[in-house]
Structure 1
Amino acid sequence: MKPRLLAAALTLSAAAVTSPAFAFDWRQAEGTEITLLASEHPWTAGVREHLAEFEALTGIKVNVTAFAEDLYLDRANLAIRSETPVADVFMTLMDAAIYEQWNVGGVAPLTPYINDAALTDAAWDYADFSPALLQGASFPPGDAAAQQYAIPISMEAYILFYNKELVDKHLGGTLPATWDDLLAGAQKVTDEGAGELFGSVMRGQRSGSLVDTMTGIVLNAWGEAEAPLPYNIWFDGAWDKPRFDDPRIAAGLAHYAGLLNAGPENALSFGWEDASRYFAQGKAAFFVDASVFGPGFEDVANSAVAGKVGYAVLPAVDGVSVSGHWAWGLSMAENSEKKTAAWLFMQWATSQANDAAFGLKTGGATRSSTWGNADYVAAFAPGYVEAVSKQLEHTRPTMVFREGWGEVVLVIVDAIHAIYGGEDPVAAVTVLQEVAPAVMQ
C-alpha cells in the first residue's frame, strides 16, 4: 500500500473503532454467528482487514465465504433460492440481478430495520446515501411505497479519463469542452498518431458489458429531463411506449460511435480489459468508462500513465454534465434466521467510517460525506475525487427493470455499430425503435 493510502487507512480504521454511538446497543445479538457470501473484491478485502473490530464491538462471529465474481454470482443466486439458509448477508449487483432476487422473494426488505431506532444507530445516517444511488434496489421501482432491499457498498460513475501528455502534444493542452470538440480532438490525435497512438479507446464488442458505459453517455445526451425507473430513458412511462428513436438517444449513440471511430481499427472487438489496457499503456488520449479504473491507472507498477492521467466529467450538453452510475450492494437473505445480527453487520459495514476505509481500496465510496472526507480525498491522485464527486451530483441509474432487457442491450449495441459503420444516427434509431420492443417481448 502507498504511504498516503496507509496513513489514511490507519486514520479511518481508528475512527471506525472509536466513534460508535454509546446509546445504541451493538451487543443485542451477542453470541450469534452469521455468514457473509461475497465476491472476491477489494471491498471484501477491506471487510476482512477490519472484521475483528466488528466482532469485538458486537460479540457476533462473521464467516466470510468468497468466490471469484463469475462463480460468486451463481452461488448467490442459488443461495437466495435455497429452502434452507446458506448465508445471512450477501453482496449483490444493484441492477437487474437484485431486481430478479426481489422478484423471487429472495431478499428481505431493509426499510423496517432502517426505521427502527432500536435496530439502527442514529449515527448511521441513511440520508447520507444518494437517493439516485439507492434507486438501484428500491422496489417496487417507481412506487411511492417502495422499500429498500440493498445498501450500496461500492459504486462507479462514468467519467472522462485523459492522457495529459497526449492532450498537451496534440491539442495544445486544451481539454475539449463539448462533444463536438471531444470527437474532433480525438480524431486529430488518431490522424497524427500514425497507427501507434489513438484519440480514444472504448468497449466496442457486441456484449452486455457495454450497457452501463453506453447508458451513461446516452444519459448525458438526454440531459436533466425525467427518466424514471423501471423504464429509464428507453420507454415513456409504459412498456408499450418505446422511444428508442428519440433524437437525444440518437445523439448519445452517435457520441459513443464517434469515440469508437477515433480508436484502433479493431475497436469493435474490445472489451473493458482491452480498452483499459490500451489506455494504461499510454496508447490513447481519451477513455470514457467507470471511475473505478482511476486508482489502477495510478499504479506505477502496472501502468505507463501513472501521474499523467487527468479526470473530468463528461462534456456538458445544454450546460449540464449528466452520466450514469452502478453499484455493488449488501442485501439480507429472506431465509436468514439471524436477521438482527445480519442487519447489525450490514449497518457496521456501511457506516461512514467504514465506507471511507473500504473505499480506499475501491475508489468508489458510496456516501456523500466520504467524498468530502479529507483523508479519502488525499489518498487519490489530484483531480480524481473532484471529478467523480462532481459527476455524482448528476448521475442516474443505468438499469432497466424488465425481463429480456439483456437482449435489448445487444440490439442497442448493433445500432452503435451501424453508426460506427457510417449509417445515419436517425436511421439507426428508427430501426432500433422497431427491433428493440420485439426482442423484449
Structure 2
Amino acid sequence: MTFSGLLAAVSNCQRSPLSDHIDLNGNEGLRWQQFAGTELHLLLNDHPWTHGIEPYLAEFQTLTGIQPRPQVVPEPDYFQVMERVIRAEPAQADVFFLPMDSTAYRFWNEALLLPLTPFIGDPHLTAPTYNLFDFPEGFRLTAMYPPESEEKELYGIPATFEAYILFYNKRLVNQYAGGQIPKSLDDLLVAAADINRQGRGEVFGAVMRGVPADTILDTVTGIVLDCWGQRPAPLPYNIWFDGDWSQPRLSDARIVKGLEAYTRLMQAGPANIKAMNWLEATQLFQAGKAAFYIDASLFGPGFEDPSQSTIAGDVGYATLPPVDQSSLTGHWLWGLGIPRTARQPQAAWMFIQWATSPSMEAKIGVATGGAPRFSSWLTPSVYTEAMNVDYALAVQTAMQTSRSTAVLHPQWHRVAQAIAMTLHEIYDGEAAETAVARLEMQIRQIMAGPHPD
C-alpha cells in the first residue's frame, strides 16, 4: 500500500487548501512573464533535489520566459565553488543551493545574502497561494536572522530536508533478534551489540558515520536531541551552549548519554567504522550487512531501489527509539538563496518561488524523499503515491517533532570537529565523562580565541 492510498482511506482524498498549485495562466494576480528574456544563473549541488528539478526547468522557462542556466557541481567540490561564486562582485550566480545551517549564518554575517522577506511581502512578486507557513516553523527559523531579534528576516527557502530516523534490515532483525524492533534507545544499543556478536564479522549490529569530521555532527545531534527531551534548545545555541557562547554544556548528563549512545552504535559496527562517512555507511547498509542504521531520511528512497540496493522491500523505517516518553530528533535543510550581489535578484525570486511552490515541492520530493512543506505529506499527489507507507509515516512523524541541528556561530565547524574527535576517544575506551570534560575546556578556548572566519 502506498502512502497516498493510506491518505485516501483516511481523508477521502479531500485536498488541503495549502496545496493550491501555481496557476500557469497567471490568474492569481502575479505576472509570471514580467522578467521574460532574462538569463538566470543557477548554482546547484549534484544532489537528488537537482536531479528532481532538472526535468521541469523547461516548464519554468515556458511559464516565465526566463532562461535558466544551471551549473551543477559535484558535492565534494560544491562548498568551495559556492564560496567563490557568491563572493564575486557581482556574484556569478543568481540563485544557489544554500546549506541552511552555520554556513548560511556565516554568509549572512558577512553580508553575502539578500533577504527574501521583501520579495515575499510584495504582491507584484509573490503569488497569493505561496503559503510560507506551509513550511514548519523550525525549518523557517533556521535561516531567519538576526536569530534573537524580533525584526529577523528570512534569507533562505527550504528546498529539501532530512530528519534523522532509524532504518533497519527486516531480514537481519528477524534472524538475529526474533523480529523485535527496539522500543527505546537502550533497547537499540543492546540489540545492536547482540547482533554484532552473533554476526561474527559477517553481519554487523549497526553502521554509523564515524569519520572524525564536522560533517557527522547533524546525525550526532539527532541522537543527542532524543536524549535531551522536551527541554528547550533555542537557536542560535541549540543544545550545546547554555545561553552564552562562553558556556558550553556538553557535561550535561543528557548530552553525555547521547554521545555515549552514538559511540556504542559505532562499536556495534565494522572495524573500519572510524573511517566511514555517509557514503560508505549507506553502501554497507544497502549491501545487507548491517541490522540498524541511523542517518538522514533522504536515503530511504534509495534503499527501495533494486538497482542500487540488495535489501529493497526488506527495509523498516521508524522514528528514533525514545529515551523518555516520546521520540525526538533533529533535521537539516538544503535551501535556495540569492547572493547579495546577484545580477537578477527579482527573477531569482521568481525561480525560488516556483521551485518551492506546493506543486513543485511534491514533484521534486519524489527524488529526495524530503519535501519540506506540510501539504506535500498531507495531500495525495505524485509524491505520496511514490512513498513507501512506513517510510512516509516515520518521516512525517519525525518532521513534526524534530528540531534544527544548526548552531549559528561562525566557529561551529571547529567545535563540531572537536566533538567528532571526542567520539573517537570514547569509542577507543576513554570514559565519556573524562573525554567530555576535556572537550568543554577545548571548546571554551575555541570560542574565546581569534576567529579567522
With structure 1 as the length reference, what TM-score do the two structures score? Answer: 0.93
Partners of 2:22 and 2:129 within 8 A in 1: no
Counterpart in 2 of 1:32?
38
Counterpart in 1 of 2:251?
245
Counterpart in 1 of 2:395?
388
For 1:50, which of 56, 61, 65 is the aligned residue? 56
Whole-angstrom CA distance in 2 between matches of 1:360 and 1:297 = 14
**Structure 1 residue 380: deviation in Å?**
2.1
Whole-angstrom CA distance in 2 between matches of 1:232 and 1:40 = 29
For 2:228, which of 193, 200, 222 is the aligned residue? 222
**Larger deviation: 244-253 or 331-340?**
331-340
Counterpart in 1 of 2:435?
428
1:354 is aligned with what amino acid? M
| Cα gap change, 1:19 to 1:237, in 2 (>3 Å) | farther
**Structure 1 residue 18: deviation in Å?**
5.5
**Structure 1 residue 20: deviation in Å?**
6.2
Counterpart in 2 of 1:7?
none
Counterpart in 2 of 1:403?
410
**Structure 1 residue 97: deviation in Å?**
1.7
For 1:193, which of 192, 199, 207 is the aligned residue? 199
| Cα gap change, 1:156 to 1:135, in 2 (>3 Å) | same
In the TM superposition, 1:14-29 aligns within 5 A as 21-29=27-35
Counterpart in 2 of 1:280?
286
Partners of 2:186 and 2:323 within 8 A in 1: no
Report the number of matched residues: 429
Whole-angstrom CA distance in 2 between matches of 1:274 and 1:87 = 32
Whole-angstrom CA distance in 2 between matches of 1:381 and 1:154 = 18
| Cα gap change, 1:147 to 1:429, in 2 (>3 Å) | same
| Cα gap change, 1:219 to 1:111, in 2 (>3 Å) | same
Map Cα deviations across residues 165-207 of structure 1 (whole Å, 9 max, x no partner). Answer: 1111122111011111111111111111122111111111211
Whole-angstrom CA distance in 2 between matches of 1:288 and 1:371 = 22
**Larger deviation: 190-199 or 419-428?**
419-428
**Structure 1 residue 24: deviation in Å?**
2.2
In the TM superposition, 1:13-412 aligns within 5 A as 21-375=27-381, 376-412=383-419
**Structure 1 residue 362: deviation in Å?**
1.1
1:333 is aligned with what amino acid? P
Whole-angstrom CA distance in 2 between matches of 1:154 and 1:20 = 26
**Structure 1 residue 21: deviation in Å?**
4.8
Structure 1 residue 438 and structure 2 residue 435: aligned?
A: no
| Cα gap change, 1:25 to 1:316, in 2 (>3 Å) | same
Alignment gaps of 5+ in structure 2: 5-19
**Structure 1 residue 15: deviation in Å?**
6.0
Partners of 1:245 and 1:432 within 8 A in 2: no
Partners of 1:21 and 1:123 within 8 A in 2: no
Whole-angstrom CA distance in 1 between matches of 2:379 and 2:141 = 24
Whole-angstrom CA distance in 1 between matches of 2:410 and 2:227 = 26
Map Cα deviations across residues 353-379 of structure 1 (whole Å, 9 max, x no partner). Answer: 000101111111111111223232220
SS at match of 1:183: helix
Counterpart in 2 of 1:8?
none
Whole-angstrom CA distance in 2 between matches of 1:83 and 1:95 = 24
**Larger deviation: 431-440 or 390-399?**
431-440
| Cα gap change, 1:21 to 1:425, in 2 (>3 Å) | farther
Partners of 2:106 and 2:409 within 8 A in 1: no
Whole-angstrom CA distance in 2 between matches of 1:79 and 1:245 = 40
Whole-angstrom CA distance in 1 between matches of 2:207 and 2:76 = 25
**Structure 1 residue 382: deviation in Å?**
3.0
1:425 is aligned with what amino acid? A
With structure 2 as the length reference, what TM-score do the two structures score? Answer: 0.91
SS at match of 1:369: helix
